[in-house]
Amino acid sequence: MATFATLAYLVAAVCFILAIKGLASPETARQGNFFGMAGMAIAIVTTLILPGALSGLSYVLIFAGIVIGGAIGTIVAQRIQMTALPQLVAAFHSLVGLAAVFVALAAFYTPEAYGIGRFGEIRAGSLVEMALGTAIGAITFTGSVVAFAKLQGLVSGKPLVFPMQHPLNAALGVLLLVLIIWLCLSNAPAAMWLIVLVSLALGLLLILPIGGADMPVVVSMLNSYSGWAAAGIGFTLENNLLIITGALVGSSGAILSYIMCKGMNRSIFNVILGGFGGEATTAGAAGGGERGAVKSGSAEDAAYIMKNAQSVIIVPGYGMAVAQAQHALREMADVLKHEGVQVRYAIHPVAGRMPGHMNVLLAEANVPYDDVLELEEINRDFGQTDVAFVIGANDVTNPAAKTDPASPIYGMPILDVEKARTVLFIKRSMASGYAGVENELFFRPNTMMLFGDAKKMTEEIVKALES
């Protein structure tokens, strides 16, 4: 039976690897999800049929948990809006971290069930694994709760910066190491509970100083933390599949975070330590002073300009997601293509509020994958483009990232939409973006503002094009 379990776990691990590979592209994302579900099903069934793993009552409780959890997950998946997907992911990460804490506490108080000794006499190696899993899990839990609250609008997206912020975080980090050493030397329950409390506080203090504009990177990094927490608990439970799965999630999340940090010109070490971007945001934001006149237009104006263009690049952002305008946008693109206009989509690495947010929305509207290009693939083409059509994107198009050293987004690579001959910008108002920075692109002479709901405005443009 042990051999069968090892082989089954190996198959499950291969499925998880194929799942990550599939999710790397919109074209293979469905296949990747299938592999992930298949791997998880194999892992669960194999664990449940291991001899002596569970008693009869345990099976009843586990199946009850599967049914209840599965029902909740189904309802949430059916009702969740695409715009709320980032905060849903953050909420899921918090549950993974909390589960790691609960498993570690269970192993600490009933070590005989896990084969790691007796209560008060757990071997040091297991205590180290347990403590690390607990610490990372608790940090992931509270950090993810804060990320969820910021994305959901329950907490202000502005960075919460306070004096002695970094020294306090450093002191808590040192205290955490001291507590882990104390736990290994004494097996003291007080040390274990203090590790939990300090880690919970550290998770709050690491994420609160991070601004809302940087939440995509935070969500990705918390995903990595949840993986490492699972891997740490896998060592405690001596479960090879949990170790492999946790390492896969942890490493892939870390790699994605690094890629996104490069896309935002951030330091990966500042992400790990927390509070990156906080000082810059408080230092000042682009804006203030006279900017000049703003030129606004109608749907008919936009339709006329695009119908007489040879090339149009569409830049979607979170505003498109909120308005659910992706289907109307694809319809507009189809009409323009029928008129002989070249239409492509430009995606910034952090457009929306999580990696791949815009890609998923466009795929939902059946936008051809070949028309969707990343920043590095299309940025040089804006200078030869007749029209840049910006729908709901703001910070990722703001020239202040290149021109204003005092801006909190300074140094972040942006889509060079201002180089297009004409920029059409759909926006509800002149309000700043999620980073709280006024977009100087609004005041450029080649920019025409189209004020209104993104979906309604796009639908009106489609009608004007067809007439």
Amino acid at 181: I
Enzyme catalytic residues:
395
Alpha helices in 23-55 (DSSP H): 29-49
My answer on whether 307 and 455 are in the same domain is yes
Ranges of H-type helices in 324-430: 326-338, 357-364, 375-378, 400-403
Q: Which residues 6+ apart lie within 8 Å of 187 measured at CB?
A: 119, 120, 121, 122, 127
The two three-digit tokens of residue 2, written as one number: 């042990």
Instruction: Please report, to the nearest 10 degrees, the dihedral formed by the alpha carbons of residues 282, 283, 285, 290 taken in order.
Output: 130
Note whether 213 and 408 are within 8 A (CB).
yes
Burial 387-404 (b: 16+ CB within 10 A, else e): bbbbbbbbbbbbbbbbeb
Rounded-to-integer distance, Cα 354 and Cα 397, Å: 17
43 lies in which domain range? 1-79
For residues 113 and 326, the model is more confident at: 326
**Percent of the chain residues past pLDDT 70, beyond the cut:** 88
At 344, the pLDDT band (50, 70, 90 cuts) reads very high
What SS3 state is found at 437? coil
Is position 424 within any domain?
yes
Q: What's the rounded mean pLDDT across residues 294-302?
A: 90
pLDDT at residue 243 greater than cutoff 50: yes
H/E stretch holding 110 reads none
- Is the sign of the CA dihedral 54, 60, 62, 66 positive or negative? positive
Phi-psi region of 46 (alpha: psi -120 to 50; beta: other; left: phi over 0): alpha
SS3 of 218-240: HHHHHHHHHHHHHHHHHHHHCCH
Does residue 112 sit in the same domain as residue 43? Answer: no
**Rounded distance between C-alpha atoms, residue 395 and residue 434, angstroms:** 7
Distance CA 156, CA 330 (A): 33
Q: Please, are residues 434 and 322 in contact by the beta-carbon 8 Å criterion?
A: no
Residue 121's DSSP bridge partners are 118
Tell whether the model's pLDDT for residue 290 goes beyond 70.
Answer: no
- Assign 17 a pLDDT band (cuts: 50, 70, 90): very high
CB 230 within 8 A of CB 294: no
Highest mean pLDDT among 61-70, 265-274, 380-389, 424-433: 380-389
CA distance linking residue 309 with residue 149, whole number of Å: 43
Per-residue model confidence (pLDDT) at position 285: 43
pLDDT tens digits along 87-110: 888 888 899 899 999 999 998 998
- Lowest model confidence (mean pLDDT) among 50-59, 81-90, 453-462: 50-59
Question: What pLDDT score was predicted for residue 279?
Answer: 43
- Do residues 12 and 118 both lie within one domain? no
Q: Looking at the structure, tell me whether residues 121 and 208 fall in a common domain.
A: yes
Percent of all residues in the chain with a pLDDT value above 90, rounded to a whole number: 35
- 392/454 Cα distance (integer angstroms): 7
- 303: tokens are 């339709």
pLDDT band at 79 (very low <50, low <70, confident <90, very high): confident
Q: What CATH number does residue 337 fall under?
A: 3.40.50.1220
Across 130-156, average pLDDT: 87
Residue 289 has pLDDT above 70, yes or no: no
Q: Rounded to whole angstroms, how far apart are CA atoms 226 and 247?
A: 10
Which range (91-100, 144-153, 239-248, 348-357) has the least confidence?
A: 348-357
Residue 429 lies in a domain: yes
Cα separation of 362 and 357, whole Å?
9
Contact (CB, 8 A) for 336 and 306: yes
Tell whether the model's pLDDT for residue 222 goes beyond 60. yes
224 and 251 in a single domain? The answer is: yes
**Structure token pair of residue 181:** 């050493």
Q: Name the band, by pLDDT with cuts 50, 70 and 90, for residue 378.
A: very high
pLDDT confidence of residue 263: 64
Determine the Cα–Cα distance for residues 55 and 113; give it in Å rounded to an integer: 12
**Do 415 and 355 reside in the same domain of the chain?**
yes
- CA 430, CA 451: separation in Å to the nearest integer? 9
Q: Is residue 460 part of a domain?
A: yes
Report if residue 287 sits inside a domain: no
- Whether 229 has a pLDDT exceeding 90, the answer reads no
pLDDT at 425: 93
In this structure, the strands spanning 447-451 and 422-427 are parallel
As for how many domains the chain has, the answer is 3
Average pLDDT over residues 285-299: 67
Q: Are residues 258 and 120 in the same domain?
A: yes
Do 110 and 52 share a structural domain?
no
Which token pair is 438? 């006024």
The residue from 79, 108, 124 where one domain ends is 79
State the chain's mean pLDDT as an integer: 84
Residue 293 in any domain: the answer is no
Examine the fold and report which residue of 15, 47, 79 is the final residue of a domain before the chain moves on.
Answer: 79
pLDDT at 1: 65
Classify residue 292: in a domain, yes or no. Answer: no
Distance from C-alpha of 307 to C-alpha of 467, rounded to nearest angstrom: 11
Q: Are residues 142 and 90 in the same domain?
A: yes
153 and 16 in a common domain = no
For residue 289, tell me if it sits in a domain: no
Residues 132 and 207 in one domain: yes
pLDDT over 60 (residue 283): no
| 160 and 227 in a common domain | yes
Q: Do residues 248 and 16 make contact, with C-beta atoms less than 8 angstroms apart?
A: yes
For helices 326-338 and 454-466, what crossing angle results, to 10°? Answer: 20
Of 250, 282, 314, the residue at which a domain comes to its end is: 282
Given this model, what pLDDT does residue 54 score? 64
Instruction: Give residue 175's pLDDT.
Output: 95
Question: Do the Cβ atoms of 173 and 202 come closer than 8 Å?
Answer: yes
Distance between CA 397 and CA 413 in Å, rounded?
Answer: 9
Instruction: Establish if 118 belongs to a structural domain.
Output: yes
